[in-house]
Amino acid sequence: MTYTEVPGVRVPIRMWTDPATVEGAAMQQLRNISSLPWLHGLAVMPDVHLGKGATVGSVIAMKGAVCPAAVGVDIGCGMSAVKTSLTAKDLPDDLSRLRSKIEQAIPVGRGLHTDPVDPTKLHGFRAAGWDDFWHRFDGVADEVKWRRERAMQQMGTLGGGNHFIEVCVDSTGVVWLMLHSGSRNIGKELAEHHMGVARSLPHNQGLVDRDLAVFIADTPQMNAYRQDLFWAQEYAKHNRALMMGLFQDVVRREFAKAKVVFDEVISCHHNYVAEERYDGVDVLVTRKGAIRAGSGDYGIIPGSMGTGSYIVRGLGNKAAFNSASHGAGRKMSRTAAKKRFTTRDLAEQTTGVECRKDSGVVDEIPGAYKNIDKVIEQQKDLVEVVAHLKQVVCVKG
């Protein structure tokens, strides 16, 4: 489908879904964003739903301003995936051992490494710039500098919520490795610090929603936020790269006889800010639950822990600010999912997947998410499908 414009707002809201299907609270969030005087444009992806700070599935382009709460607390959250030389025939019938080995190598939930992972010891890991990255930690906000040791131990860990590690098989029978995570607790603490600063600034006092407080270009507060924001985005990228390295090492050991070969890793943020130019205007683009889909850009759009995912290639649609959805998107809250579904429902909806099937992950049940195939269909003018994956192992935090 092409987009639909929502009328009656200061800046047009371009929606790649039927506005009538969007929950009222999410539509109000979008209208609030559209009222901001710094807004250049707003595009809405088909996985849109109510979010904290700003609507998930929104692409917010601003001139000379950025909203830290729109980025959210998991700065740089995103996906990584890699195609392997394995096929479905190489996988054992019982995948529980493989899942266990992954969980042993990569801490999940609130877990962390006892000692920071040395990237130089990971097969083929590109550690260039690693020391410089950590040296730049000295420049982040004073309020979080005491977290350095924990941040180093959490580098290469999954976290909880909707983060996951998966072994998948594509429609041709080829095995892929995929994972979803972000900047862990250090990103959260940096975000919360700067959101508090933004809310206190005079120019934000009259906003319809204080969560939409912004930093203005060429101010000390903006400069401080940009420095911490881009560092945290880099942390998230390194975090996924380190996990993927650990993941690949597990697979190499478990399938040693096959001498596994890996393609180039695909990686993309979906909660982040980028400096881009549209209509001859330099803007700060916040993708809140959206990936960059510039012409030729590879991206990953996951469904849920039982429905599979898509590897896509961007078509460079500037009306969407070169963006696409970041997933299927929730159709009900975590609280509502826990009230509606049982562990029996979870087991039924994840049949054939080696994964947790306990009450701790009922809120991640496939039934709580939108139909990923329909979401992909709604953005045919944003991306083209490269591969359709179905998970056979799913590790949750």
User: Are β-strands 13-15 and 323-325 bridged in parallel, bridged antiparallel, or unpaired?
Assistant: unpaired
Rg (CA), the chain: 20
137 assigned to a ligand binding site? no
396 assigned to a ligand binding site? yes
**Site of tokens 């159709």:** 331
Question: Are the C-beta atoms of 55 and 288 separated by less than 8 Å?
Answer: yes
271 assigned to a ligand binding site? yes
Q: Which two tokens stand for residue 170?
A: 């594509």
**Helix pair angle (184-200, 220-254), 10° resolution:** 160
Looking at 16-77, list the stretches that DSSP marks H as alpha helix, in order from N- to C-terminal side: 24-34, 68-71
**Local structure of 196: helix, strand or coil:** helix
Q: Is 326 a catalytic residue?
A: yes
| H or E element in which residue 271 lies | strand 271-278
162 assigned to a ligand binding site? yes
198 assigned to a ligand binding site? no
191 assigned to a ligand binding site? no
Q: Which two tokens stand for residue 57?
A: 């599935």
257 assigned to a ligand binding site? no
125 assigned to a ligand binding site? no
Residue 116, Cβ density class (10 Å: 0-12 exposed, 13-18 middle, ≥19 buried): middle
181 assigned to a ligand binding site? no
Q: Which of 40, 49, 269, 326 is catalytic?
A: 326
239 assigned to a ligand binding site? no
327 assigned to a ligand binding site? yes
> How far is CA 376 from its chain centroid?
17
193 assigned to a ligand binding site? no
User: Are β-strands 164-170 and 39-49 bridged in parallel, bridged antiparallel, or unpaired?
Assistant: unpaired
- For the annotated catalytic residues, the residue numbers are 326
Annotated binding site for Mn(2+): 74, 163, 180, 270
Binding residues: 74, 162-166, 180, 270-271, 302-305, 309, 326-329, 396
Q: Which residues participate in the annotated binding site for GMP? A: 162-166, 270-271, 302-305, 309, 326-329, 396
